[in-house]
Chain A
Amino acid sequence: MKIKKSTKALAAVASLAMLSTVGLSACGSSDGGETDANGKPIIRVALIKRSTQIEAKDMKLQKDLEAACDCTIKWDEILDTQWSQQSSTVLASGDVADITVWGYNASNFAQYDYWEDLSDDLDQMPNVKKYFKEVPNAEKFGSDIDGHVWQVPSDYGNASGAKWSSGQNLMINKTWLEKLGLEVPKTWDELTKVLTAFKNDDPNGNGEADEIPMLINQLGTSGFNWWDPFLLLNGTGLNTQMIANGNQGIYIKDGKIGNFMITDNFRQVIEYYHSLIEQGLMPKDILTRDSSQNSADISNDGKTAKVGMIFGWNTGNFGDLKDQYESIEVPAAPGVSYEETTWEPQFEDIYNGACVKAGLDDEHKAAALKIIDKWIEPDTSMESYYGDLDKYISNEGDGKYKVIEFQKDLSTYGLADRGLTYVSDDMSVSGDEDKVLAEKDGKTYETQQSHIGDKDLIPAYVRLSAEDNTTVSNNNSNIFNYAMPLISTWIQDGGLTDAKWNEYVDTMKKQGVDENVKLWQKWYDKTMAEE
């Protein structure tokens, strides 16, 4: 009797254990071959979204897409803050969604073969075919050098506000300038004078010396970032491309690739920043300051401005104080003419769009292609970007669209840039406030951007092979580990002598700067030769 009981209990536990392992293995092997109750295919679509964003299932978009594909859509909605971590794990496991929008980029497509090559499926997607014909650059953006098409990118075309802006702006308090009777600084010397006046002349008029003339972000530990202090390099005539290859220091001048970390321009910027700290124009602890502290100072109490100048996204950074600030052109370094100064290039209006998982069965693949094809139709596109048609945006006919209610943080009613969008040349959108702001900021830099020569820009479709990319990123890890503490110390404490600089440059070259430049040059030349 006793034995029987025990075996029963054992069997129960054992079966439980087996269940749990079965459950585990089920996670790893979903083939996307699911069908719903009516036998229609279920397509999993992964979206990478902002935290404030509407849920896709509440949008009219879902009904429109489902009607077109005769299938059921299941959304996987992932927050963009989590995506940077999650994408590596998903890539390692290979468990990608049937369609992923905005999530993957060209280097993912080069490194992993989880996705369907769409080059032979274009006949099933007439809208996409037409789109690629009208915008050959979109096809190029979505393909690799061997002609595989890995994704259908989004193209916001001339309706985009972002198109006019680089997203990187140097902003100054113009109210302070007016009050002190100063001009917008055109050179670094003038900039120093303006910042000194900001410090000494109590421009915010509260009788306290609480003004911080200039704030810069902390330096990254493994690369350069958005709104990086070294954007000032543009004032020395070196175009940075900070959000692309520039994040590892790679730049191009007259078709010759280099690393700006070992240029004299770079040294000039370091020394200039140190002089600002020495004169008390930037806080001494600027490189260890928490970003929350900076943003607290930047928006202060919403009434009295405290900060004179920052690099940032747009004047919206200043909250209620935004009307006091404006974007200005980057001042020129000593000995550099205005014609030589540049600024970050404008955003590509083409950005990552939708890719389809490889190895889907015919039924699912056909449905997935239909979804993508429908998504880039004008009405669906607009609805995806701004929210439901006739509620948030209206079609005025002749390709004219009008935003009825603008989404404050870009994505309250629609998916904005996280969905799939194609705006053709004969379409236009009115009432987009972000576009207005971006256009205003963008116009500021138009002239400086025009100083960028044809061969001073590495196009986004220049990519390294997976193998070379590994070499480059290993070198970069060594380079930045060596360089960042030195650079930061020189900015904070000074002490940069010729001997130290030469030693730094020599070590940097040995750490792999030379090798990286050579590899980038190789792939740049190769890609350019294909053109």
Chain B
Amino acid sequence: MAVSQITASASSADVPDNDYIARHKSLPVRIGTHLRRYWQLWLMALPAMIFVFVFAYIPMYGIQLAFREFVPRKGLTGGTFVGLKYFTKFFQSPQFVNLMRNTISISLWTLVMGFICPIILALLINQIGSKRIKGFVQTITYMPHFISTVVIVSMISIFLNPTSGFIGRFLNEDGKSILGDPNLFTPIYWITEVWQHCGWNSIIYLAALAGVDTALYEAAKMDGASRLQLIRYVDIPAILPTCGVLLILNMGSVLNVGFEKVYLMQNSLNLSSSEVISTFVYKMGFVSNQYSYSTAIGLFNTLINFVFLVMANAISKRVSDTSIF
């Protein structure tokens, strides 16, 4: 014990520890060394950093609008400070409970189903042997992704027309369109959403599956694994990390229910289940010009999203050791 200590100190005296020295140099010198060594990497990251700084960080100063009276003449920062007035107003609004319930139910359904379905689709497509059929199925399933929301909503209303729609003529309530049924708004929303984006979202899983070592399949087959067992023990573990990261990323937008689609699908009959935070912000901010109020609601929305993101990340880190930070 003592001997080794002596040799260690002796050797450190003879051979200088470069790491130790570098760590104890003055800050500017250290930064200089770092930049000299890694400047190519910094240069590559720079445009993105500038972009994020200019378009994400600088506009954040506008958040203070949520705590101020908005006076157009005086600009964003000129109004008197009113603290949490607009937040209280939102929490006490008779619509608050309903808005939150609608937003959460629509977004959770979309999030969960929109997460599971592409995985299943990818696993299925992966089982197709012929390359041509595989390509064909993939193209067909991801095609709807490129249709704009406005067109999709028109298509939905044409499909669900109770007299002429090819789905609506079977699914109608005594000649009335199911688009007017508040209980069916959420299902119609997420089913069409899944239908539209399922194929596109499965591409990333297909890429992960393509990377699986074929030796694994052969080894499993030798051990007598069935097709389902191959999926269970080879495919799913292979895409699990990808699933984790995507789930965390999606969690960050849990309350961001797409504004256009909900707004376009809204009608006077389903209003009780189709009014969500984003449509409310639109109506408050742009229709009745209450910028401070709608900024406050938007900020609240963002905070909830942020909490969800952090939570999902922490859970995932603990459970499967996958995390984005």
Question: Which A residues contact B (CB, under 8 angstroms)?
Answer: 2-3, 6, 9-10, 13, 17, 20-21, 24, 85, 88, 91-92, 94, 111-114, 218-222, 283-285, 287-290, 292-293, 470, 473-474, 477-478, 481-482, 484-485, 487-489, 492-493, 511
Contact = CB atoms under 8 A, between A and B. Distances in A.
B283 A485 contact: no
Residue of B75, B163, B177, B289 ringed by the most chain A CB atoms within 10 A: B289
A478 B268 contact: no
A466 B268 CA distance: 28
Contacts of B158: 290
Contacts of A283: 163, 175
A114 B39 CA distance: 49
Given A114-B72, A285-B161, A484 B268 contact: yes
A94 B291 CA distance: 14
B180 A221 contact: no
B268 A9 contact: no
Given A290-B154, A477-B284, A492-B269, A485 B182 contact: yes
A111 B69 CA distance: 13
A112 B70 CA distance: 11
A285 B95 contact: no
B252 interface: no
Given A284-B162, A285-B175, A10 B54 contact: no
B176 A492 contact: yes
Given A13-B47, A112-B73, A484-B271, A284 B175 contact: yes
Given A292-B154, A478-B94, A111 B289 contact: yes
Interface in B85-109: 93-95, 98
A280 to B, nearest CB: 9
A21 B72 CA distance: 23
B322 interface: no
Contact of B289 (A91, A222, A484, A511): A91
Interface in B248-285: 266-272, 275, 280, 283-285
A140 to B, nearest CB: 24
Given A287-B268, A290-B157, A470-B288, A492 B180 contact: yes
A9 B174 CA distance: 70
A92 to B, nearest CB: 6
A92 B72 contact: yes
Contacts of A511: 94
A61 B280 CA distance: 43
B283 A17 contact: no
Nearest to A293: B161
A489 B154 CA distance: 23
Interface string B182-209: 1000000000000000000000000000
Given A285-B176, A290-B157, A6 B39 contact: yes
B271 A284 contact: no
Given A13-B47, A111-B289, A485-B269, 11 more contacts: A6-B35, A113-B72, A113-B73, A219-B267, A222-B287, A285-B163, A285-B175, A288-B176, A290-B154, A293-B157, A478-B94
A213 B267 CA distance: 23
A31 to B, nearest CB: 15
Given A17-B50, A221-B268, A488-B180, A481 B95 contact: yes
Nearest to A17: B50
Contacts of B266: 221
A46 B283 CA distance: 26
Nearest to B73: A113
A221 B176 contact: no
B95 A287 contact: no
A413 B95 CA distance: 48
Contacts of B167: none
Nearest to A5: B39
Given A219-B268, A221-B266, A3 B288 contact: no
B312 interface: no
A287 B73 CA distance: 43
A288 B179 contact: yes
A302 B90 CA distance: 51
Contacts of A292: 154
Query: What are the 8 A-B residue pairs with the smallest beta carbon separation, nearest first?
Result: A284-B175, A219-B268, A473-B288, A488-B268, A285-B177, A288-B180, A288-B177, A484-B268
